[in-house]
Amino acid sequence: MLESPAALTLARLQFAFTVSFHFVFPAFSIGLASYLAVLEGLWLRTGRETYLNLFQYWLKIFAITFAMGVVSGIVMSYQFGTNWSVFSDRAGSVIGPLMAYEVLTAFFLEAGFLGVMLFGLTRVGRGLHFTATLAVAAGTLVSAFWILSANSWMHTPAGHSLNAAGQFVPEDWLAIIFNPSMPYRLAHTVLAAYLTTSLVVGAVGAFHLRRDPGNEGARTMFSMAMWMAVLVAPIQVVVGDLHGLSTFEHQPAKVMAMEGHFESHEAGAPLLLVGLPDQAAGVVRYAVSIPRASSLILRHDANAPLAGLDTVPREDWPPVAIVFWSFRVMVGLGVLILALGVCALVTRLRGRLYDSRLLHRFATAMGPAGFVAVLAGWVTTEVGRQPYTIHGLLRTSDSVAPLDAPAVAGSLMAFAVVYLGVFGVGVWYLLSLMARAPHAGEPGPEGDPEKPTRTAGITPGPATDRLRPTGKTYAESERS
């Protein structure tokens, strides 16, 4: 079998496509699981039925999101082998155990308690049900911990040695798990997931407030989401800056690509706002820049010298244009998110949070912004690591399986058709759930009004005794 460049490109496309699709779902479900835990906690504490209604409302959305996350995630755990077998042989002893811990500590926890969380409110006590919700929320965070540790190790490998077969061998697990970029990446990604969720929740709340400003559920979720945005967005700016400085220390070429710095600057490098990077010529065309600002950001000194890609061998350059632009998309959206949070706070202080049409329109438009920002940030960091899979140590072209281009082309097409079709429909279902306003007596996943409601008696006696009658909401079944 010949290893063709076409097969490599196709394998990279397939991985980028499947991992990007997958990433969207956890980016939402991490935040949503925590939000559900907060809602249930508030309901248990205050007894306010609005919290229960919101819990049931978002639980239905969570069920679909989580299912899509699970099935798109299974693909990932096999794709390392099918398409990146050399990487797996070399790095499996280091990366593999981190992923095994993710499965053992997080996936089983989530899956084991998800059934109880979704369908168990009437079957187990409130305390146990809340425990299940907390377990699922904790599971999503633990999962993020391990997978981002594995991912960070590929950016800033540490704590390993190489054996005779060219395999990475673990030497110090703590150094591997808490590798240099891991704390920053973890904080940055989890905050991004929280912001993404708060933008979706805020957009849904705003959407329903525009139709019915008195809707209690819409008011509560909108208020909560806007608090989240104004509190978390500034923290994210600080964490993002720290993450950038850590990248600058360990992966300077990535930061040079993000900044569009092909040339070194002796004193005071400019900050390029926009421009068209030309990789072949090594220049950024039509650049609009602020003098010395890049040195100020990266070195905290406007006159500091800053090295450019001209100090890096060309074969080690990442694709500059992709990194340059995806970074700008992320930062641009980050600024807008911060602006939304501030606007909401100002409107709130004026006492007009629930009837400012302009703010509601802004918040509705920002609904998808978190997803776009998360994906753009992901592209920045992953493409910025190229041409390596393990930074500085293993090249992407040396990681790929002995692949046959037609085989990969076939699988890529199949993935594209299935993902776009299946997940497209899934997103449609999510949107149609969100289009319904939250209301009193909101049913959970077990009592959805769209489901066929049947009278007891079709199945003989004992079955119905153990299960509550259909169509009743939790509140109703409590009363009866």
Binding residues among 2-61 for another protein as defined by CB under 8 A: none
Rounded Cα–Cα distance for residues 79 and 405 (Å): 16
Range in contact with another protein (rule: CB under 8 A) among 104-112, 227-235, 250-258, 383-391: 104-112
Q: Which is nearer to another protein, 404 or 476 (CB)?
A: 404
- Residue 285: strand pairing partners: 276
Using CB under 8 A, count the residues that bind another protein.
97
Helix ranges, 160-313 (H): 173-177, 182-211, 216-250, 252-259, 293-299
> Across the strands, what pairs with 265?
306
End-to-end CA distance of the chain: 69
Question: What mask, x for binding another protein by CB under 8 A, covers residues 333 to 372?
Answer: ----------------------------------------
C-beta of 65: minimal distance to another protein in Å? 10
Contact between 124 and another protein (CB under 8 A)?
A: yes
Whether 129 contacts 116, CB under 8 Å: yes
Site for another protein in 232-291 (CB under 8 A): none
User: Does 446 engage in binding with another protein (CB under 8 A)?
Assistant: yes
Other C-beta atoms within 10 Å of 468: how many? 16
Q: Which of 30/187 has CB closer to another protein?
A: 30
CB of 428 to another protein, least distance (A): 9
**Which residue bears the tokens 């006590």?**
125
Rounded CA separation 73/420 (Å): 16
Of 145-174, binders to another protein (CB under 8 A) are 163, 165, 167, 169-171, 173
Check residue 475 for interaction with another protein (CB under 8 A): no
The tokens describing 361, both together, are 């329109």
Looking at beta carbons only, is 18 or 196 nearer to another protein? 18
- Candidates 111, 245, 342, 393; binder of another protein (CB under 8 A) is 111
Within residues 74-103, the interface with another protein by CB under 8 A covers 74-75, 77-78, 80-83, 85-86, 88-97, 99-103
Stretch that binds another protein, among 41-49, 247-255, 283-291, 465-473 (CB under 8 A): 465-473
Site for another protein in 369-408 (CB under 8 A): 401-404, 406-407
The stretch near another protein (CB under 8 A) out of 193-201, 290-298, 372-380, 440-448 is 440-448
Decide the pairing of beta strands 168-170 and 271-278: unpaired
Q: Is 90 exposed, middle or buried (0-12, 13-18, 19+ CB in 10 A)?
A: buried
Q: Is 141 exposed, middle or buried (0-12, 13-18, 19+ CB in 10 A)?
A: middle
Please state the separation of Cα 22 from the chain's center in Å. Answer: 9
Question: What is the smallest separation between the CB atom of 46 and another protein, expressed in angstroms?
Answer: 27
